[in-house]
Amino acid sequence: MSSFKGGPSLPQERKIVTEIPGPRSRELQERRKKAVAPGVGSTLPVYTVAAGGGVIVDVDGNSLIDFGSGIAVTNVGNAHPEVVRRVQEQVAAFTHTCFMVTPYEAYVSVCEKLNELTPGDHEKRTILVNSGAEAVENAVKIARYATRRPAVVVFDHGYHGRTLLTMTLTAKNMPYKEGFGPYAPEVYRMPMAYPFRSELDGPATAAQAIDLITTQIGAHNTAAILVEPILGEGGFIEPSPGFLPALDRFAKENGIVFIADEIQTGFGRTGQLFASEHEGIVPDLITTAKGIAGGLPLAAVTGRADLMDSVHGGGLGGTYGGNPIACQAALAVFEALEAEKVVERARRIGEIMLPRLRAMAERFPQIGDVRGRGAMTAIELVVPGTRTPDPGAAAALARACHERGLLVLTAGTYGNVLRFLPPLVIPEPLLLEGLDLLEEAFR
């Protein structure tokens, strides 16, 4: 085992001592090939021994700048001291009882806090589960149960997970759906107001979707409209203004449950606690995961008490849902969010990153679009002078960043988006160095 200690006490510096990936990582990668199914990929196969603040340290002693946060998970930083403390105390007290067998306080406390923090001051209830996909599955179950209607409306470029239902809800075929069908029934996909690629504005695209729902499904058959308020895997698409409010209004007028999937956008990432708040949306149900528990597997559905209370006893749950260790981690995250003004830090990250990215777009014609909110920003790469997606450029840039010790992720329906998700507690000098490295990668 390594002698590295993680968390924010790790030296907050980029240090490259081998090629990336280094020899020890390459050795582990060879071992992995014989043990792990290749269907599970890794963006950058450097094997981690410690992480914290804005860095990830690998088995070869390299310290990389983290612009990924384990895909928007470690918002308060990796191995946050309060997460570590609470987890250690909990693990020594008891590791599991199953909330459905004998309950415990931490589960209730997490639900209370989610009811309080999520948009809207109406009465709410929450259930806890293990993963984002499971949260989305449960939100759909609840919406169907409460409305007694079958249809679920989703959108182009949306991503909701990899289980049978959530992969059906997801738009992109490769790699998420290819060969895994047949898919679940009663899922209908509508156009998304994608500012960089749509001809129509937000209200006009919403009107088109509403017309399709009305004529092809029937509002009275529609249980839920499910949407990410800013699309994550689809390429950090912020729907054109007016799109979400129009759909929300239509849902409320027609007894359709409006579900905001805030699994990637949640917990301060976009400079508000929830991205729905940017357009004043109060979802009927909201799904959360990722940033909720500092890296421990926890997810939730929170929503209107009348909907949540409609389901019969025993209809929801699971063996590990709301595991006590994960709940303690979430309670630590909630404290850290407030105490360390993490949401404001996300806003500040956006204020630093967006002007720098826009300045790069002036100089590098491969950047077709710069977008984002707070610490959820992206550039979309195109063939210069056109809107033709250039996934090759995105892959080459990601590689060049990785070689320089900057971890970035790609995204987008066309694989041509570089997305940036630094931990919200990243020290400013590291953030600036990361931007310098990105610019160097372009050159």
Ligand X SMILES: Cc1ncc(COP(=O)(O)O)c(C=O)c1O
Nearer residue to ligand X within complex by CB, 46 or 376 = 376
**Of the two residues 60 and 261, which places its CB atom closer to ligand X in the complex?**
261
411 binds ligand X (CB under 6 A): no
261 binds ligand X (CB under 6 A): yes
Q: How far is the CB of 165 from ligand X (least distance, A)?
A: 11
Phi, psi for residue 276 in degrees, rounded to 5 = -55, -30
Among 8, 22, 161, 321, binds ligand X (CB under 6 A): 161
State how far the Cα of 406 lies from the Cα of 48, in Å rounded to an integer.
14
263 part of the interface to ligand X, by CB under 6 A: yes
Residues 281-310 that bind ligand X (CB under 6 A): 289
In the complex with ligand X, which residue's Cβ is closer, 140 or 316?
Answer: 140
Give the position of tokens 């240090």: 15
Identify the residue among 115, 126, 131, 205 touching ligand X (CB under 6 A): 131
- Single out the segment in contact with ligand X by CB under 6 A; choices: 98-106, 120-128, 182-190, 258-266: 258-266
Shortest distance (Å) from residue 140 CB to ligand X: 12
Nearest CB to ligand X, comparing residues 136 and 441: 136
Task: Kindly state the DSSP code that residue 226 receives in the 8-state scheme.
Answer: E
Helix (H) or strand (E) holding 128: strand 124-129
Taking CB under 6 A as the criterion, which residues in 37-66 touch ligand X?
A: none
Instruction: Specify whether the CB–CB gap between 45 and 33 falls below 8 A.
Output: no
Using CB under 6 A as the binding rule, whether residue 228 contacts ligand X is answered as: yes
What minimum distance in Å lies between the beta carbon of 366 and ligand X? Answer: 26
User: In terms of Cα–Cα distance, which of 303, 322, 333 is closest to 86?
Assistant: 333
| 17: amino acid identity, one letter | V
Q: Which is nearer to ligand X, 132 or 324 (CB)?
A: 132
The distance of closest approach from Cβ of residue 144 to ligand X in the complex, given in angstroms and rounded to an integer, is 18
Q: How far apart are CB 110 and ligand X at their closest, in Å?
A: 16
Toward ligand X, which CB reaches closer, 128 or 136?
Answer: 136
Burial status of residue 33 (CB atoms within 10 A of its CB: 0-12, 13-18, 19 or more): exposed
Asked if 133 is part of the footprint of ligand X (rule: CB under 6 A), the reply reads: yes
Give the separation between CA 105 and CA 100, rounded to whole angstroms.
13
DSSP one-letter string for 240-300:
PTTHHHHHHHHHHHTT-EEEEE-TTTTTTTTSSSSGGGGGT---SEEEE-GGGTTTS--EE
Asked if 156 is part of the footprint of ligand X (rule: CB under 6 A), the reply reads no
Q: How many residues in the shown chain lie near ligand X by CB under 6 A?
A: 15
Q: What is the dihedral of CA 138, 139, 144, 149, to 10 degrees?
A: -140
User: Could you write out the DSSP letters of every residue in 6-71?
Assistant: -STTS--S-B--SSSS-HHHHHHHHHHHHHS-TTS--SS-PPEEEEETTEEEETTS-EEEESSHHH
132 binds ligand X (CB under 6 A): yes
C-beta of 25 vs 264, nearer to ligand X: 264
Q: Which is nearest to 279 in space by CA: 252, 239, 310?
A: 239
- Cβ-based nearer residue to ligand X, 99 or 159: 159
Q: Is residue 413 at the binding interface for ligand X, with CB under 6 A as the rule?
A: no
Nearer to ligand X, 292 or 398 (CB): 292
Element housing 152 (H / E): strand 151-155
389 binds ligand X (CB under 6 A): no
| Contacts with ligand X, residue ranges (CB under 6 A) | 71, 131-133, 136, 159-161, 228, 232-233, 261, 263-264, 289
